[in-house]
Structure 1
Amino acid sequence: MQVVKELNVQIMEELNRDIENLVLNIRGFIKNQVLGFKKKGVVLGVSGGIDSAVALTLCVQEIGKENVYGLLLPEKESAPSSKTLGAEICESLGVEYEEVPISPILESLNIYEKKEQIIKRTCPEYDARIHKTSLILPDFLDKEILNVPYIRLIKDGETIAKYRLKANDYLELIGLQGVKQRSRMVIQYMYAEKMNYVVCGTTNKTELVLGQFVKYGDGGVDLEPLADCYKTQIYALGKYLHINEEIMKRPPSADTWSHYTTDEEFYWRMPMHIMDQLLYSQEHHLPLQVIEKNTGLSGDKIEKAQRHINRISNTTEYIRAAPPVYYLNR
């Protein structure tokens, strides 16, 4: 009977099961952590995305709007909707918030200039006055399996060219982009320490397993209430919590390129619901037959995708790990 039950598993149903109880458990976790740290409340960076909207709402429900402070941390390459939606969710919950642009920090470190130099030598026709850019990877399931990053040029909303990045340029771009998340975290801790609050993170389980966060950036927080919820579950939480429909419809993104680039285009390289089902299947050791039935993928594609996931997880292990500490005479 157990085998028959396992073969009939509906992964999406399992992911979205008992959301009401999940909400209660996360709220309890938030309260316990704030009390455990002996702090007065929570500071949270509000991006206009689903993760921060869900985290903000749960914090307000558990510890009260008067004990939650929102920070809007835009920069000149952020999508305008990020600030708008972030302000709207704070106002709808009655949360006090403040906008602190991080562009001056990035400009003082020449982040934009260095980024422009890489794009210009990669894309001969690039003109910052007319082009927007994004960093993408080929679709893993339908096109290529090589992990080759490209710069995409967009004009008037249409992709006009793609240029392959050299390995060194790619690594430098990732380093430059990481400064954005680290700058935001510096500001969040400045406010948290002034107010005697904790900094609440918004990393979900999909991101955590894949190492899809910046060490000492969005990963450098005091508590992570969403870290055991796959991205699919975050949307289920958003629906249950009646999060703004515009936020619910917004594709997930780090929002660090001048053209809004989704996580499916760059990091996951496959649709969100496929990625989460594959991750859930690995976590629960589901047989290939069940994964095929749920995802609609062939066994060959599933095995390739699982190797791809394992490779990402293994190469980002250092991001999740605490720094090794040397102890004398041990």
Structure 2
Amino acid sequence: MQVAEEMSMNIIEELNGNIGNIALKLRGFIRDQVASFKKKGVVIGVSGGIDSSVILTLCVQELGKENVYGLLLPEEESAPSSKVLGAEICESLGVSYEEVPISPILRSLNIYNKKEKILKRICPEYDARIHKTSLVLPDFLNTGLLNVPYICLVNNGETVGKYRLKATDYLELIGLQGVKQRSRMLVQYMYAETMNYAVCGTTNKTETVLGQFVKYGDGGVDLEPLADCYKVQVYALGKLLNVNEEIIKRPPSADTWSHYTTDEEFYWRMPIQIMDQLLYAQEHRLSLQVIEKSTGLSRETIEKAQRHINRIKDTTEYIRAAPPVCYINR
């Protein structure tokens, strides 16, 4: 890329400049992969979020509504809007769907009780009858590299307590939360194999690059159409495909905490428009001057953010990697 051309670049415009062709490529990928697997259609876990809504729409356009099956997989701590919005988009596209609550699976593994014991140990005032909880990290743009997770107690929409987590507590909670995504995938494969369908994933490139998925949970699928689409591109696809505006405006979330916790609050620690520009700049080795101009961030903040991103990539490398194999017969 010429220097003058690079300096005039707006990264968001660069990402979203060819969104119509991206949609066509995704449809072709879905068609080809389902055919190569010799499957009749796809099963999709529909969350009421932008990723699953875009995938659902693309699959219907390419495979036909009769070859797409939606699963709503709520649990006790899911936001009620997830089920409502998920059902609405299935119905608007004419897709057959079913609600399969995963709470019985989680209760059988004692997940809720174990989680409550940890929360009471961390937050003495915690009362499940009045408090909702969320796991958050400090906003990167205001706090820099500080990376300490907190449990927030929320009552009637207001934070009434904030407790710093020890590493052991954090790992224990993450281990319990991951069971939710793995339980959802278990149900999806049960339906997919019964119907001779493939399980279609909804993880986007931002999540893939940052390791923002659960191994053998939302990462354990047959095909992953959005894995080369940054989150801002998924939003652009949503607008192109006329996805419900309420879904487009809904903050993205794993939806596994009783208080709806956005990915910006816990994982990205900055607005997604900033995160995706930084990731794109890393991928294409754009200069600091271009990043400064496009993001409006200072050079110092950009350099800190890049270190933050590199640290996330390093610590989540094992999530993206295939299981190592010991080859003995070569």
Q: TM-score range by the shorter chain?
A: over 0.9
> SS at 1:226's partner residue?
helix
Contact 2:192/2:199 (<8 A) preserved: yes
**Hey, what does 2:243 align to over in structure 1?**
243
* Count of aligned pairs: 330
Q: Counterparts of 1:268 and 1:44 in 2: how far apart (Å)? A: 25
Q: Residue 288 of structure 2 aligns with which residue?
A: 288
User: 1:263 maps to what in 2?
Assistant: 263
Q: What is the CA–CA distance in structure 1 between the aligned matches of 2:55 and 2:7, rounded to whole Å?
A: 34
Partner of 1:141, secondary structure, is helix
Runs of 4+ in 1 over 3 A off after TM superposition: none
* TM-score, L = length of structure 2: 0.99
SS at match of 2:116: helix
Pairing of 1:59-138 with structure 2 (within 5 A) = 59-138=59-138
Could you tell me which residue of structure 1 aligns to residue 321 of structure 2? 321
Unaligned runs of 5+ in 2: none
User: CA shift at 1:329, angstroms?
Assistant: 2.8
CA distance in 2, matches of 1:279, 1:19: 18
Higher alpha-carbon deviation: 122-131 or 1-10: 1-10
Correspondence 1:182 to 2:182: yes
Q: Could you tell me how far apart the structure 2 residues matched to 1:2 and 1:290 are? A: 12
- Contact 1:204 1:229 (8 Å CA) reproduced: yes
Identical columns (%): 80
Q: Secondary structure at the match of 1:74?
A: coil
Structure 2 CA distance for partners of 1:164 and 1:144, relative to 1, 3 Å: farther
The answer for the alignment partner of 1:214 in structure 2 is: 214
Deviation sequence 1:211-263 (CA, Å, 0-9, x none) = 00000000000000001100000000000000001101100000000000000
CA shift at 1:143, angstroms?
Answer: 2.2
Does the aligned pair in 2 maintain the 1:27–1:59 contact within 8 Å?
yes
The alpha carbon displacement at 1:323 in A equals: 0.5
How do 1:43-62 and structure 2 match up within 5 A?
Answer: 43-62=43-62
Amino acid at match of 1:186: L
Q: CA deviation at 1:144?
A: 4.5
Q: Secondary structure at the match of 1:151?
A: strand
> What residue is the counterpart of 1:303 in the other structure?
303
2:163 aligns to what SS in structure 1?
A: strand
Deviation at 1:2, TM superposition (A): 1.0
Distance in 1 between the 2:40 and 2:276 partners? 35
Q: CA deviation at 1:328?
A: 1.7
Distance 1:42 1:210 in 2: 26
Q: Contact between 2:49 and 2:250, CA under 8 Å: does it hold in 1? A: yes
Query: Conserved in 2, the CA contact under 8 Å of 1:138 and 1:145?
Result: no
Q: What's the CA shift for 1:145?
A: 2.1
User: 1 CA distance for matches of 2:315 and 2:125?
Assistant: 34
**Residue number in structure 1 paired with 2:195:** 195
> Once the two structures are superposed, what CA deviation does each residue of 1:171-198 show, in whole Å capped at 9, x if it has no partner?
0100000000000000000000000000
Give me the TM-score of the superposition, normalised by structure 1.
Answer: 0.99
Alignment check: 8 A CA contact 2:69 2:95 kept: yes
CA distance in structure 2 between the partners assigned to 1:157 and 1:215 by the alignment: 32
Matches of 1:5 and 1:227, distance apart in 2: 28
Quote how far apart the aligned CAs of 1:108 are. Answer: 0.5
Q: Deviations over 1:133-166 (max 9, x none)?
A: 0000001111242211000010111011100011
Q: C-alpha offsets along residues 267-302 of structure 1, whole Å, 9 cap, x if unaligned?
A: 001111000000010011000001011111110110
The amino acid of 1:278's aligned partner reads L
Could you list the per-position Cα deviations for residues 20-75 of structure 1 after superposition, in whole angstroms to 9, with x for gaps in the alignment?
A: 11110000000000000000000000000000000000000000000000000000
- The answer (yes or no) to whether the contact 2:144–2:304 under 8 Å persists in 1 is no
The 3-state SS of whatever aligns with 1:44 is strand
Write the mapping of 1:11-30 to structure 2, written as runs, cut at 5 A. 11-30=11-30
Distance 1:144 1:22 in 2: 34
